[in-house]
Amino acid sequence: MAKMSTSEQLRAVIYTRISEDPRGLEAGVSRQLEDCRKLAVDRGWELAGEYSDNDISALQGKARPGYDELMAAASRGQFDRIVAYGLSRLWRNRKERAEAIDALSRTRISVALVKGSDLDLTSAAGRMYAGILGEFDTAESEIKAERVSRAAQARAEAGKANGRCPYGWKRVYQRDEQGRVLDWRDEVDPVSAEVVRSIVQDLLAGITLRAVTTRLNEMEIPSPGGGRWIPSSVRKLALRDLNIGLRRHRDTTYPGAWEPIVDEADHMKVKTLLGDPRRRTQRAAARTHLLTFGIGRCGVCGGVLAVSKKGPAGRKTSLYVCKEHGCVGRREEWVDGLVVATVCERLSRADAAAIFHADDAALAQEQSKVVALRSQLDEAADMYASGTIDREMLERITARVKPMLEAAERLARPAIPMPDAVQHLIDSHDSRAVWEELSISQRRAVLECLGVQVILKPARGGPGFKPESVELMWEPRRPT
């Protein structure tokens, strides 16, 4: 906040702003501040305060804490004059400028500019002049924004990535004799591309996002930002359409000018997997048991199962129990053994793969349609680039083909992808041996893919395990 003085001199405050300062050096603000201080001293004004905003644009009406403090102090009559480097440092947004001119005129505060004339906002002529000058500033910003937007559109149409080189590739620059950049292309970086592929393969194998994240951090592989990995960044990396060579700009998809690093079928599977609303999101650390978190249910009240330790000290036994009311309880080792034996036996049969059979012909037809529709968009883009068709015709073709492509992509994508672990169990001559090699998250993924529900019913007939008191129900999640 500004510090006020009791002096009778004209009280001035300084406002500085720079819209872009990616390195956080504040050099632009410092230079403005130095020039504004000199103007105030030369005019003989008392400096009553300084306000600034760094790396904040004024065009889009973004929050400017320094500016908000300035206007609050103005409403309290704490100064008589605002000193700024240029009018564009104060305002570029039309609405904000009009409101400020009106507010400052009521408090009889005017503006002095290092680069420009003084603006007497107490007079109609001064307010008009400030509004006209401000319109030039706003127009300049809007024209610049249009140029930036058009350049981004051109990069998208050329299939080039926006901003820095995406993780998985490395940027190669083409320079002239003076070393100036003429063009660039993104080539596959073998090391980081393999990290992306490993993430996709782990997820398709049934390994959880948190487990994948833990693996990457334990291997001390730097994240794209250089720090530690977090599950959200792993998820974002796995879902990027960049991975299969597609460039999205606003609502349009363009073929990328870079080499894909993930198989398109695997990409569709992982997008479906991570987008499944039935996907459980509990912490991986909590998934240390096969039938907790909803796979196992109480046969009395329908509640979920939890694990409880029962018995004397040193000889406690793990039991699955009804989490809500304790209606049922059964030794974890016995129930898991029955479930595993049943699942492995079913997946070892010759017809195991038939459990998951879908209409492959229909799926293949939709996948072919996706390829054909993308080819139409590519051909239209080439015709526009060569001048054969104009922009209006390109937009008409895109508007017609795009909804058809989106519909075909939905139908060409399996609703629930089969984890790789399931396929390994089906293909193996010893499904039990393969099962023993799976992590707990992979084993749970197999049960979820099979739609397994394990119901513990009250046991009758004395101590010991009663297999008939455990009911297994399953409904494999077939692709649609």
Q: Confidence band (pLDDT; 50, 70, 90) for 476?
A: low
57 compared with 129, residue with greater pLDDT:
129
SS3 207: coil
The residue among 367 and 51 whose pLDDT is bigger is: 51
Determine the Cα–Cα distance for residues 457 and 301; give it in Å rounded to an integer.
10
Contact 113, 87 (CB under 8 A): yes
Q: Tokens 């883009």 sit at which residue?
A: 381
Each residue of 296-354: pLDDT tens digit?
889 998 888 999 988 888 788 999 999 888 899 999 999 999 999 999 998 888 877 77
Q: Is 11-145 CATH 3.40.50.150?
A: no
Predicted confidence (pLDDT) at residue 193 exceeds the cutoff of 90? yes
Domain boundaries, the chain: 11-145, 187-275, 284-355+418-473, 360-411
Amino acid at 161: A
Share of the chain above pLDDT 70, in %: 87
Burial of 271: CB neighbours in 10 Å, binned 0-12, 13-18, 19+? middle
Q: Mean of the pLDDT values across residues 46-74?
A: 82
pLDDT at 5 over 80: no
Residue tagged 């501040």 (tokens): 33
> What local confidence, expressed as pLDDT, does residue 28 receive?
67
3-state secondary structure of 46: strand
The reported pLDDT for the residue numbered 6 is 42
pLDDT on residue 356: 66
pLDDT at 187: 93
Q: What is the mean pLDDT of residues 280-285?
A: 45
Lowest-confidence region among 119-123, 182-186, 286-290, 300-304: 286-290
Residue 25's pLDDT is what? 43
Q: Which is more confident, 363 or 13?
A: 13
Concatenate the DSSP letters of all residues of 105-169 into one string.
HHTT-EEEESSS--B-TTSHHHHHHHHHHHHHHHHHHHHHHHHHHHHHHHHHHTTPPSSSPPTTE
Backbone dihedral region of 49: left (phi > 0), alpha (psi from -120 to 50 degrees) or beta?
Answer: left
pLDDT tens-digit series, residues 347-371:
888 877 776 655 566 667 777 888 8
pLDDT on residue 80: 94
22 vs 110 pLDDT, higher one? 110
pLDDT at 171: 92
Q: How confident is the model at residue 276 (pLDDT cuts 50, 70, 90)?
A: low
Which of 292-310 are b and which e, b meaning 16 or more Cβ less than 10 Å from the residue's Cβ?
A: beebbbbbbeebebbbbee
Average pLDDT over every residue of 14-31: 67
**Reported confidence tier of residue 480, pLDDT bands at 50, 70, 90:** very low
What is the structure's pLDDT at 273?
80
At residue 49, the pLDDT reads 93
Mean pLDDT of 246-268: 87
- H or E element, residue 268: helix 264-275
pLDDT in tens, 416-443: 566 778 888 888 888 899 999 888 888 8
CATH of domain 187-275: 3.90.1750.20
pLDDT of residue 20: 55
Q: In degrees rounded to 5, what are phi and psi of residue 412? A: -85, -5
> How far is CA 76 from each of CA 16, 110, 186, 392, 432, rounded to the nearest angstrom?
20, 15, 56, 55, 79
pLDDT given for residue 146 in this prediction: 83
Whether the pLDDT of residue 22 is over 60: the answer is no
Least confident window among 46-50, 190-194, 253-257, 409-413: 409-413
The per-residue pLDDT for 140 is: 81
Average pLDDT, the chain: 83
Show Cβ contacts of residue 230 under 8 Å, excluding neighbours closer than 6 positions. Answer: 213, 223
The 3-state DSSP class for residue 373 equals helix
pLDDT above 60 for 246:
yes
Please tell me the distance from the alpha carbon of residue 186 to that of residue 76, in angstroms, as a whole number.
Answer: 56
Mean pLDDT, rounded, for 252-268? 89
Quick one: CA dihedral 215, 220, 225, 228, positive or negative? positive
Which range is least confidently modeled, 2-6, 81-85, 226-230? 2-6
Mean pLDDT for the stretch of residues 4-32: 68
Helical pair 124-157 and 94-106, crossing angle rounded to 10 deg: 160
Structure tokens at 202: 């782990």
Question: Same topology for domains 11-145 and 187-275, yes or no?
Answer: no
pLDDT digit string (tens) for 435-467? Answer: 998 888 888 888 887 878 899 999 877 778 888
